[in-house]
């Protein structure tokens, strides 16, 4: 059963001393975003982030996921009714917990949720990302990396 929460995961790597971020193009909407999805059953946000990363990009679940300060709320009605029917009637918004994961040189393997992925700079990611919450979480992560605050 779908839990009433969302996760957002930003895969990144450092190349020649500079961060690169992996963005994904959705197959059903043709826009760019980071890894995103909902929790299942009694999963914690961290467990959901790890599972979603494996399902969508084949990222190893043993990688270290860092929870960002950025936390948002998204409208519950963006989730299909088949999942929302189990939630209480007053579930109008869902918390979206944000995570970063350093993948170093690990390869990404796409699921059917995405048509392609791209490793890009902060500026390019900020230009291409569709969701404002993705851009804000990216801003936090980029500043943490550049300030060496991990």
Q: Output the tens digit of pLDDT for each of the chain's 150 residues.
A: 889 999 999 999 999 999 999 999 999 988 999 999 999 999 999 999 999 999 999 999 889 999 999 999 999 998 888 888 888 899 999 999 999 999 987 789 999 999 999 999 999 999 999 999 999 999 999 999 999 987
- Please state whether beta strands 65-75 and 114-120 pair in parallel, antiparallel, or not at all (unpaired): unpaired
Domain annotation for the chain: domains and CATH numbers = 2-146 (3.90.79.10)
DSSP state of 77: G
Q: How far apart are CA 35 and CA 19, in angstroms?
A: 17
Instruction: Say if residues 11 and 55 touch (Cβ distance below 8 Å).
Output: no
pTM recorded for the entire structure: 0.94
């Amino acid at each position: 059963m779908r839990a009433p929460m969302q996760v957002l995961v930003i895969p990144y790597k450092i190349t020649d001393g500079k961060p690169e971020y992996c963005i994904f193009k959705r197959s059903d909407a043709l826009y760019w975003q980071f890894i995103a999805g909902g929790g299942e059953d009694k999963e914690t946000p961290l467990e959901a982030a790890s599972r979603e990363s494996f399902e969508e990009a084949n990222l190893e679940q043993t990688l270290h996921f860092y929870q960002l300060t950025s936390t948002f709320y998204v409208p519950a009605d963006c989730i299909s009714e088949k999942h929302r029917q189990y939630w209480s009637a007053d579930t109008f918004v869902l918390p979206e917990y944000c995570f970063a994961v350093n993948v170093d040189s690990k390869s990404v393997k796409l699921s059917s949720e995405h048509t392609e992925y791209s490793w890009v700079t902060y500026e390019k990611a900020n230009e291409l990302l569709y969701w404002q919450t993705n851009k804000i979480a990216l801003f936090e992560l980029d500043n943490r990396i550049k300030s060496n605050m991990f």
